[in-house]
Structure 1
Amino acid sequence: MQDRTWQPPEFLQLQGQFVTLRPFVALRDIDALYAASHGTPEKEAIWNYLYYGPFDSPSTMKDWMERNTLIDILPTLLRRGWGFQRSLFGFPLSTS
């Protein structure tokens, strides 16, 4: 039986001493993320151990992130109780 009074948590911005965590919003964040991770060998080293990236352009990075982020599928995960197959960063998400 499902608890119908439960509400998903709000997406909050968390402020720390050295870093701020906030929900990803592609239109607001993609240019800064692209600039921080592209353009020099030192910046692009962040991609060394990942199977995706670096990207050809900010729009390519934005398109990939929109297709592969948890933020856009979280409401579906919560609604369906995690019982479905979909990928996150190329890895399947499934409880079965």
Structure 2
Amino acid sequence: MTDDSLLDWKPVPPPPRAPLDGRFVRLEPLDAQRHGEDLWLALQGPDSDSALWDYLPYGPFAERSAFDAWLAGKQASDDPLFFTVIDAASKRAVGLLSFLRIAPADGCIEIGHIAFGRAMQRSPASTEAIWLLMRQAMDELGNRRLEWKCNARNARSVRAAERLGFTQEGLFRQHAVIKGQNRDTAWFSIIDGDWPPIREAFVRWLAADNFDELGQQRRRLEEFRES
């Protein structure tokens, strides 16, 4: 049934171009000059993930100059608004992610363009980096809806969305052509009514006592949503 009642709603502010601090990582607005060397090594270096660029609409980059030009273009963009992930221990740039499809009038915003170096993958740092944007979008800015979209064949991204607490809403068939291939897009969201238990689960999962002396989680994020 459609709810046609009027909303007591005012547009939210857009996300600021400002750092966000966590325990494992710090998110800084992308600076191609300061972050470029570290990002090139993390995303394109000899120890990088060969599958990283498979489902992104750009990359991999054969030459550093092309990568630097791409970074400079992303730095200048307000939507997507790119952040560099800085590892708190090493102070090195280890990945990228962004807000995009920013719609303050509707209170809708998306997280995407995620490119994490191999060292970040399947780590508390990767979860916290996304959590920092989720928290800003929902708590600090007051959005009604947070979106996550990915190629339906991208099993890693689908699993990540589900683990983070997003609800799958459907499949947009033949949604785009990316790198000469059809893309069916899997569509996920968190709305403001979903958010409180998801937020609580993140807070409890990220607590220091949920990690052992080797930094391994004691309980999975999903378990905190179930308890």
TM-score class normalised by the smaller sequence: 0.5 to 0.7
Is contact 2:42-2:48 (8 Å) kept? no
Residues 1:41 and 1:51: Cα distance change in structure 2 (over 3 Å):
farther
- Partner residue, 1:12: 18
Distance 1:73 1:51 in 2: 16
Residue 38 of structure 1 and its aligned partner are, at CA, apart by 1.4
Residues 1:65 and 1:56: Cα distance change in structure 2 (over 3 Å):
same
Is contact 1:14-1:22 (8 Å) kept? yes
- Partner residue, 1:72: 76
Higher mean C-alpha displacement, 47-56 vs 33-42: 33-42
| Number of residue-to-residue matches in the alignment | 69
TM-score, structure 2 length as denominator?
0.26
- RMSD over aligned Cα, in angstroms? 2.9
Residues 1:41 and 1:35: Cα distance change in structure 2 (over 3 Å):
closer
Q: Partner of 1:51: helix, strand, or coil? A: coil
Residue 49 of structure 1 and its aligned partner are, at CA, apart by 1.0
Residues 1:11 and 1:53: Cα distance change in structure 2 (over 3 Å):
same
Q: Which has the higher strand share?
A: 2
Distance 1:37 1:51 in 2: 15
Distance 1:14 1:50 in 2: 24
TM-score, structure 1 length as denominator?
0.55
- Partner residue, 1:56: 62
- Partner residue, 1:22: 28
Is contact 1:13-1:21 (8 Å) kept? yes
Is contact 1:26-1:66 (8 Å) kept? yes
> Where does structure 2 lack aligned partners over 5 or more consecutive residues?
1-13, 79-112, 114-227
Structure exhibiting the larger radius of gyration computed from Cα positions:
2
Runs of 4+ in 1 over 6 A off after TM superposition: none
Higher mean C-alpha displacement, 8-17 vs 27-36: 8-17
Distance 1:22 1:41 in 2: 23
Identity among equivalent positions (%) equals 35
